[in-house]
Amino acid sequence: MAQKTIQTDICIIGAGSGGLTLAAGAVQMGASVVLIEKNKMGGDCLNYGCVPSKSLLSVAKHAAIMKNAWHFGIENMDPKVNFSKVHDYVHNVIETIEPHDSVERFEKLGVVVLKAQARFMNTRIIQADNTHIKAKKIVIATGSSPFIPPIEGIATVPYLTNETIFDLKKLPSHMVIIGGGPIGIEMAQAFQRLGSQVTVLEGMKILPKDDPQMAEVVYQRLLTDGVKIIEGAKVLKVSNQSKTIKVMYEKDGETQEISATHLLLAVGRRPTLDKLNLDAAQIKFTPKGIVVDDRLRTSNKHVYAMGDAVGGYQFTHIATHHAEVILRNILFKLPTKVRKNTIPWVTYTDPEIAHVGLTEDTVKSMRLKYKVLRWGFKDIDRAQAEHSAEGGIKVIVSPQGRILGVTVVGVHAGELIQPWILAIEQNLKIGAIAKMMIPYPTLGEINKRGAGSFFTPLLFNERVKKIVRFLLRWC
Ligand SMILES: Cc1cc2nc3c(=O)[nH]c(=O)nc-3n(C[C@H](O)[C@H](O)[C@H](O)COP(=O)(O)OP(=O)(O)OC[C@H]3O[C@@H](n4cnc5c(N)ncnc54)[C@H](O)[C@@H]3O)c2cc1C
């Protein structure tokens, strides 16, 4: 086949959250861009990650509300779940968003999109099918894939991952999920609420990156939903017996066994670097991802890497942040570095758990002086009105009121964390949040009340009382 060569300013490998953001930004700012994607435009987030998982959770939340409507004086209903239609709903959401990430949209913007597997031929040239791309800068945005743990028997059993679970058209009757991180826990709640029996096997504790006291609120809700959670469980072996999958695990020194109809692996991610031929391009990498500096430059000065492919926190908003950093570095030669200490994340269970900044454990390990501020949704009128009073906010502040970290667990925690992200990014002190005028009754009052509690001991004490009484004498 005849070889074709394209010369371009930027060649991006991977059209997921990171690659697409970078391509759209670069082309609209005047660079010529080639974008290479071997699979579906939109990558993990649109097709096998954020979008289908949040759609499924939304369906499951509606089912749970029907089952517990009696709180509002409405009789409970046992929802009849038509799982094939649930599948269609999830895929309709993907299809609705798809045009935004499509080849057509990017070609209209002026990007040259190649649907092919990309590989390095040498330090400067990429091959995609019969096309050679010579670019001033190359960006690797190849994302990550589910990690398949080396459990005995794993190759002999049918298992699901995030790449296949959203294709199910029949509700599993009993699903065992190995892994209690955000992906495993979100799927556990969704499937349990839709009618599956779900068992989570987790080697340590579920949601290990979150504040344990706050994660406990999610844990308790999962138990109420009926999810069986086995923590401290080390999976030893899996096997296939007629129509069931047997999972053998060790807990507290004892070997135990559980049978299920379906097995979901959610034990982490590995960067998708295979077939890239990174050695030919002299790009250093480890099993955790491509090695990059603070500006996302690899060991090859012509090549940058971003998103899940570089390991660390693997979120869509990190991939899009990386795109902004690379744009500034490549197009404007601004030596911009990636942000490290204001990374927010949310697990979209019901209740949600959201975090930004440092956790109490990290602050302790850094031997910093700190105070903990708390406020519960039970004292927020809007939460009471909506029968959503579980959970609350926990704010870690320095004794001088510098905001170090915040966790919210409860209804819409992912939205409520946002002023705190701004506050930490802008180095605002706790008073900035405490002083905000918040419309009543809104859930956002929890932020003001939590922040305001910093000043309670400073305002309501004997010294202030004496001063006030003294001043009132002159009224
Ligand atoms: C179930 C699940 C739920 C999630 N939920 C959330 C969430 O709620 N919020 C959040 O922020 N994050 C979430 N994430 C994480 C989020 O999806 C990822 O962090 C994000 O997609 C990473 O973007 P990326 O651009 O680095 O990679 P991807 O989106 O994975 O894109 C990489 C692309 O590169 C392509 N590619 C790979 N190798 C090659 C090659 N050699 N040649 C050509 N193309 C190639 C792939 O086909 C893919 O399309 C979730 C992930 C999962 C699995």
Query: Read out DSSP for 377-418?
Result: GGG-HHHHHTT----EEEEEE-TT-BEEEEEEEETTHHHHTH
Give the CATH number of domain 4-145+270-332; options: 3.50.50.60, 3.40.50.720, 3.60.20.30, 3.90.1300.10.
3.50.50.60
Where in the chain do CATH 3.30.390.30 domains reside?
Answer: 351-459
Q: Is 445 in the pocket of ligand 1 (CB under 6 A)?
A: no
- CA dist 386 and 63 (Å) reads 17
Q: Is 289 in the pocket of ligand 1 (CB under 6 A)?
A: no
According to DSSP, the residues that pair with 393 across neighbouring strands are: 375, 408
Separation of CA 408 and ligand 1 centre (Å):
26
- CA dist 85 and 474 (Å) reads 73
Helix (H, G, I), strand (E, B) or coil at 199: strand
Q: Is 452 in the pocket of ligand 1 (CB under 6 A)?
A: no
Q: Is 43 in the pocket of ligand 1 (CB under 6 A)?
A: yes
Q: Is 58 in the pocket of ligand 1 (CB under 6 A)?
A: no
Where in the chain do CATH 3.50.50.60 domains reside?
Answer: 4-145+270-332, 154-267
pLDDT in tens, 37-89: 999 999 999 999 999 999 999 999 999 999 999 999 999 999 999 999 999 99
Residue bearing the CA closest to ligand 1, atom 12: 315
Give the pLDDT score at 474. Answer: 86
Separation of CA 109 and ligand 1 centre (Å):
22
Residue bearing the CA closest to ligand 1, atom 3: 49
Q: Which residues contact 154 (CB under 8 A, 6 or more apart)?
A: 148, 238
Separation of CA 120 and ligand 1 centre (Å):
21
Mutation pick for ligand 1 pocket among 11, 17, 40, 421 (CB with most ligand atoms within 8 Å): 17
Letter string b/e over residues 139-152, b meaning 16 or more CB atoms within 10 A of that residue's CB: bbbbbbbbbeeebe
- CA dist 115 and 124 (Å) reads 20
Pairing of strands 262-265, 174-178: parallel
Give the CATH number of domain 154-267; options: 3.30.390.30, 3.40.430.10, 3.50.50.60, 3.30.230.10.
3.50.50.60
Residue bearing the CA closest to ligand 1, atom 38: 142
Give the pLDDT score at 49. Answer: 98
Q: Is 125 in the pocket of ligand 1 (CB under 6 A)?
A: no
Ranges assigned E (strand) in 421-464? none
Separation of CA 280 and ligand 1 centre (Å):
24
Give the pLDDT score at 243. Answer: 83
What are the backbone dihedrals phi and psi of residue 96, each rounded to the nearest 5 degrees, phi first?
-65, -35
Neighbours of 20 (CB within 10 A): 29
Give the pLDDT score at 217. Answer: 98
Q: How far is CA 393 from CA 48, 361, 418, 453, in A?
A: 31, 16, 13, 11
For the chain, list residues with pLDDT below 70: 1-2
Give the pLDDT score at 2. Answer: 55
Superfamily of domain 351-459: FAD/NAD-linked reductase, C-terminal dimerisation domain (3.30.390.30)
- CA dist 237 and 245 (Å) reads 10
